[in-house]
Structure 1
């Protein structure tokens, strides 16, 4: 099929690769414009941008798709279908309507639960034990389009957002590949979304990342794994007379008890409102990720309480 691909982060790259490998004609790739990065603030291309160039595909990086000129350029590509995977720009109606078969989006949740920007993180933070990935026919609403092929994913008790992201990235590429094959055969079916059970996965705010140990241990554990590896749930620990920010990247439930924020023993067990969590992997400010034992060897005497 004649395809326009629209995506930006690493999550999108396997789907682009799958489409190219399946023999579809990717006539253009749309991605976010390069951004200054690193000490020298040199402009860095997105992972999708770099992948597209390696395939020899023309790349477009408009700041917006609202203008008539950009919409005319898009329409002139003559795409049969657009595939959208974590692109990052709003698609106005003229863009949605330009391809013969519309725009197909890969969304990381079991819609209508967790419509919005952060479905992977929100599902884990909420303690969901199941999620999924779906091919959706895009409309003008926020992830409200009709649903096509879907894969259900079990969220294991210790699974982090990073691990779920990587599993979805692989499954999603295969799912979209199968959806395009079905579309080419004329057998791709969609079902309207129900409104019952709809929830919104809003963008993660910086303030949410600070751990509140007055919450139940299960909520703290879910926050830690839902924000791991990025942005990382964190707390402050007094080391050598000064507060040090420590990210908690991996944890497990503990049967220990104590007052909220209390370091129950020397094994990085921290009491919560009810129960406690044992920190398994942490990252001290300015350092790399490390296991709890390595952190404790370099930390020196620990205070009785974290904040």
Structure 2
């Protein structure tokens, strides 16, 4: 690498903070850190800083928190740092073209998927939900489109049958920082690759919605298993148990095992068995063994423990909705 770069960093959650830490530990100079304004959190609705801001303050870095970049004063403030490049990781704010063009080398983004397949807000969850065998991170040159910029570097990892969005998130948080440092080393030389994306291969990874969490038992066991893992830890897959005609409960599913070869002639959603191994539910194709669930107002427990207290809720032959 030639001369270290002066970098503006923009990010919000822990995923971003792990990339900021890598920059702090590198030869490069972080001249300013951008993150959203503090937000109310907890029962007291106390204004709380994001993980990126907390890390920046710990290292005595300058922190800027504009609501957006529409104000000319905010644009001028960013320009005053005279950065070589702006690194954006899970910032959550679309950057106007004037900002994209301000740093000498523009703005680059660490995106949590192998572009161009999953663009948008939830690439980790959508990749898992779709059954992709592999994912990774892409370092791209940002443009005015949504994750449409030229690709500079990629790093890959496999998706295992046990991965949840939480475990994949951590895998990518370990992959991304090194890919970022390697990319910046190339950019510092002034000679780095830029591969245009094939728009025909792109899919939009829409932000998750709570309504998606309610499972449809008519889908196959494999599809339902992927949804459960994709929605862990949020919004958490769930089904409705009707205790009576007047009273129903939303029950969250934290862990399950697909049984695609399980043969049955029952209506999807029918409980086929309930024992120490789990609750076996008929699906549109095969069956799904629920092994860890959460009753309303309770913590998540192994099904064997739940059945000790609520076996009457999950007797074979009952139909649960979704």
Contact 1:5 1:30 in 2 (8 A): yes
Which residue is 1:160 aligned to?
Answer: 164
Structure 1 regions of 5+ residues with no counterpart? Answer: none
Change (3 A) 1:65 1:157: same
Contact 1:239 1:300 in 2 (8 A): no
Contact 1:158 1:252 in 2 (8 A): no
| Cα distance between partner residues in 2 of 1:86 and 1:123 | 17
| Cα distance between partner residues in 1 of 2:250 and 2:29 | 49
Contact 2:128 2:159 in 1 (8 A): yes
| Cα distance between partner residues in 2 of 1:65 and 1:281 | 45
TM-score, structure 2 as length reference: 0.91
- Cα-to-partner distance string for 1:199-231 (whole Å, 9 max, x where unaligned): 111111221111111111111111111111111
What aligned pairs does 1:80-159 form with structure 2 within 5 A after superposition? 80-159=84-163
Change (3 A) 1:192 1:237: same
| Cα distance between partner residues in 1 of 2:56 and 2:308 | 46
| 1:248 correspondence with 2:256 | no
| 1:175 correspondence with 2:179 | yes
| 1:296 correspondence with 2:300 | no
What aligned pairs does 1:1-307 form with structure 2 within 5 A after superposition? 1-239=5-243, 242-254=247-259, 255-256=261-262, 257=264, 258-266=266-274, 267-303=278-314, 304-307=318-321
SS of 2:312's equivalent in the other structure is: coil
Shift of 1:283: 2.2
| Cα distance between partner residues in 2 of 1:228 and 1:173 | 24
Shift of 1:295: 2.4
| Cα distance between partner residues in 2 of 1:74 and 1:206 | 36
| Cα distance between partner residues in 2 of 1:291 and 1:229 | 16
Change (3 A) 1:210 1:72: same
Shift of 1:239: 4.9
Contact 1:15 1:177 in 2 (8 A): no
- Bigger radius of gyration: 2
| Cα distance between partner residues in 1 of 2:204 and 2:161 | 22
SS of 2:32's equivalent in the other structure is: strand
| Cα distance between partner residues in 2 of 1:169 and 1:66 | 31
| Cα distance between partner residues in 1 of 2:273 and 2:72 | 64
| Cα distance between partner residues in 1 of 2:305 and 2:6 | 53
Alignment RMSD? 1.5
Contact 2:35 2:65 in 1 (8 A): yes
Shift of 1:187: 3.7
Contact 2:209 2:235 in 1 (8 A): no
| Cα distance between partner residues in 2 of 1:11 and 1:282 | 27
Shift of 1:243: 1.9
SS of 1:83's equivalent in the other structure is: strand
| Cα distance between partner residues in 2 of 1:269 and 1:261 | 10
Structure 2 regions of 5+ residues with no counterpart? Answer: none
| Cα distance between partner residues in 2 of 1:173 and 1:125 | 25
| Cα distance between partner residues in 2 of 1:151 and 1:297 | 46
How many residues are paired up? 307
